[in-house]
Amino acid sequence: MTTRTDTKEKILDLAEALMQEKGFGEFSYAHLSAELNIKNAAVHYHFPSKEDLGKAIIERAGQRFLDWCQQESMQQVTAKERLSAFMDVYYRQNLERGIRLCLVGSSAAAFPALPPGMQQEVLAMTSQILEWLARTLEEGRENWEFNFNGSARAMAGVFLSAISGALQLSRIGGESFYAATVQQLWNQLVVKT
């Protein structure tokens, strides 16, 4: 079975981008329909409520993250290379597109205003990311690639807080702020060779 149209995916792509650029509460069905040259009722056809739309955005992104970290090429590289790839895909690339936030940062900032069903999806996705980060950091520490004290889970919290925060603050301080901050974070973590 083939889908005749890809309107639903296009809506999700655009909504996700707008969420990173402006926040979930700062774009409307009218924004989506205007840009896609459809009527706002067409968006409601695919996503009856904004909660449905929000849930779908996060659900898809969460699945994409799982696919990404379970892909074959990921299993063959070191923890340091995996963490570097993570930062490139989920942070560095957003910087190049007009400083989009990561979905975790965007969701966290607007969390109390998000529909309940969406909050649950955000929690699930964030937990997945934090667990992957903790596993990666722990493995890197055992391989003498990373150097840090305390639990890998706590370090994962610091790392995710710092990079999502740095992406946000670089909207104020510019790309140079992001570059300097992430470099400092990386230097603190990585064992010099």
Partner DNA sequence: TAGTTTACTTACCAGTTAGTAAGTATCTTT
Partner DNA sequence: AAAGATACTTACTAACTGGTAAGTAAACTA
CA separation, residue 133 to residues 33, 66, 82, 96, 147 (Å): 37, 12, 10, 23, 14
Size of the site for DNA (CB under 7 A): 24
The contact pattern for a second copy, residues 80-109, with x = CB under 8 A and - = no contact, is -------------------x-x--xxxxxx
Q: Which is nearer to DNA, 83 or 122 (CB)?
A: 122
- Interaction of residue 5 with DNA, rule CB under 7 A: yes
For residue 80, give the amino acid letter: K
Q: How wide is the angle at C-alpha 106 spanned by C-alphas 103 and 112, nearest 5°? A: 120
Residues 50-79 that bind DNA (CB under 7 A): 50-51
**CA 58/CA 182 separation, integer angstroms:** 25
CA separation, residue 137 to residues 112, 160, 178, 186 (Å): 30, 12, 21, 12
**CA 79/CA 140 separation, integer angstroms:** 5
CB 97 within 8 A of CB 14: no
**CA 88/CA 55 separation, integer angstroms:** 25
- Interaction of residue 27 with DNA, rule CB under 7 A: yes
Choose the one of a second copy, DNA, none that binds residue 19, judging by a C-beta under 5 to 8 angstroms depending on kind. none
- Interaction of residue 41 with DNA, rule CB under 7 A: yes
Choice from 17, 42, 87, 110 touching DNA (CB under 7 A): 42
Contact residues for a second copy (CB under 8 A)? 21-23, 25-26, 99, 101, 104-113, 122-123, 126, 130, 148-151, 153-155, 157-158, 160-166, 168-169, 171-173, 177, 180-181, 183-185, 187-188
Contact residues for DNA (CB under 7 A)? 1, 3-5, 7-8, 27-31, 37-42, 44-46, 48-51
